[in-house]
Structure 1
């Protein structure tokens, strides 16, 4: 995949910008928007992505995944999540990198990044996809309102060139995305995703509309629903925002 990278000093949201451009002209796969500062970066389900200007990687990428059926659009989230995890593993190989369902990246028990995948669907095909990625790279101090943030530099006590991190991330996205487009092995992708999933098969506490209970994550289905098997053996299925992880300190 060929990338066309656009650097922007200040923008409300790189995802919003990407959608505006795609609405005005034919979407071009590989278009990348990188912001020095986002004033209202987007997270999943109307959440706001908070980032200190010039310290972190905040970007959006346009894809045209016509080879993926809209009913299996969660595949895109899986591919991007794994590519982002690949990038983090090269930066801090001595630490545990995990994908926290549905769209966060964790170092050990702390959040280092997030992904927002938004699809434009026309009929029975995905017309284009805007992938927003935020990675905490060099930021050291975070708002107290954030429960468990961390940055790569916070772990290694080093600063990183954001362009180098971007180059690495785009490389791994290309490897994952292009590879799947040529050889769409859904089972292999699923197995690798689960292998990298935060708290997969670990006994942990979760909270849903009925309260807190203990269980194990046992699967994520093709629609992106999380399957948790409670201690009593009952299987529960959740869409985004229907269950919370009870985080440990």
Structure 2
């Protein structure tokens, strides 16, 4: 089952993307408040299945990290949410899922254009050539004490050419390669990659997943500028790795600093 809402202002964009029928796992919209919000509503109504995707060409209230909005040009980029059941392998550590998602997207991007320098910027971004290309927002759904589902929101800059001044550090697949890409094809590939990654034996080992994540960690081994969320002053630190708890380890002048997600701002 899929839902498709057609509105005239995006008619041409939708025609390009819907030459082939949508698969049953895809809920496709021209415009929506938030793909994550809609996925949560599907779960609440008992309509969601493992592997379902909510995709919109535009969002009025797209979600980013730390309450920020995800900004993207309508019809040029991917705004999608994948619904998954974590399963027993990942059930004890939600950050395991974060790493599987980031690793899968990293592998995919490296495969489609090997000349890119693809890196995972902790905790939830993917950079191409030191510029933000993918944002990930995972919301976990619990039933009692059981982690029943994960709502994996992904924003991927695909064919957008120009970005506003306040997004000067963003790029797109098109800008990085000079090529244009089919949005639905990327959605299909990334969905398949993540679902396969949740089942693959290589990704079932937490330490194997963490090793790959750290091998591709943005800034690893170099000095970067940061600011703690509660502090206005910036500081420099050497990026070391992400530990077993999903915390970023930094080497500062004063010693080792362990940072939880949301406690640290990168100054790029």
TM-score, normalization by structure 1: 0.91
Deviation of the 1:70 alpha carbon? 5.4
Question: Alignment partner for residue 101 of structure 2, among 63, 66, 80?
Answer: 80
The match for 2:214 is: 194
Q: Confirm or deny: 8 A CA contact 1:63 1:128 kept in the other structure.
A: yes
The match for 1:223 is: 245
* 3-state SS of 2:133 partner: strand
Q: Partners of 1:69 and 1:156 in 2: how far apart?
A: 35
Q: Partners of 2:155 and 2:161 in 1: how far apart?
A: 15
Deviation of the 1:174 alpha carbon? 2.4
Q: Confirm or deny: 8 A CA contact 2:134 2:157 kept in the other structure.
A: yes
| Correspondences of 1:133-148 after superposition (within 5 Å) | 133-148=154-169
Unaligned stretches of 5+ residues in structure 1: none
Taking only aligned residues, the RMSD between alpha carbons, in angstroms, comes to 2.0
Q: Confirm or deny: 8 A CA contact 1:27 1:64 kept in the other structure.
A: no
The match for 1:32 is: 53
The match for 2:4 is: none
| Correspondences of 1:149-228 after superposition (within 5 Å) | 149-180=170-201, 184-208=204-228, 209=231, 211-228=233-250
Q: Confirm or deny: 8 A CA contact 1:66 1:125 kept in the other structure.
A: no
* 3-state SS of 1:22 partner: helix
Deviation of the 1:176 alpha carbon? 1.4
Q: Confirm or deny: 8 A CA contact 1:207 1:246 kept in the other structure.
A: yes
Distance 1:242 1:147, change over 3 A: farther
Q: Partners of 1:46 and 1:3 in 2: how far apart?
A: 31
* 3-state SS of 2:245 partner: coil
Q: Partners of 2:83 and 2:262 in 1: how far apart?
A: 25
Would you tell me which structure has more strand in proportion to its own residues?
1
The match for 1:132 is: 153
Deviation of the 1:122 alpha carbon? 2.9
Unaligned stretches of 5+ residues in structure 2: 1-22
* 1:152-191, Cα deviation, whole Å (9 max, x unpaired): 10122221111121122123212311115x8721111110
Deviation of the 1:3 alpha carbon? 7.3
Q: Partners of 1:122 and 1:217 in 2: how far apart?
A: 37
Deviation of the 1:114 alpha carbon? 0.4
* 1:26-60, Cα deviation, whole Å (9 max, x unpaired): 64111111112112211112111101111011100
Deviation of the 1:231 alpha carbon? 3.7
* 3-state SS of 1:111 partner: strand
The match for 2:13 is: none
Q: Partners of 2:92 and 2:144 in 1: how far apart?
A: 11
* 3-state SS of 1:21 partner: helix
* 1:48-82, Cα deviation, whole Å (9 max, x unpaired): 11011110111001001131565510111101011
Question: Alignment partner for residue 77 of structure 2, among 36, 56, 62?
Answer: 56
Q: Confirm or deny: 8 A CA contact 1:92 1:156 kept in the other structure.
A: yes
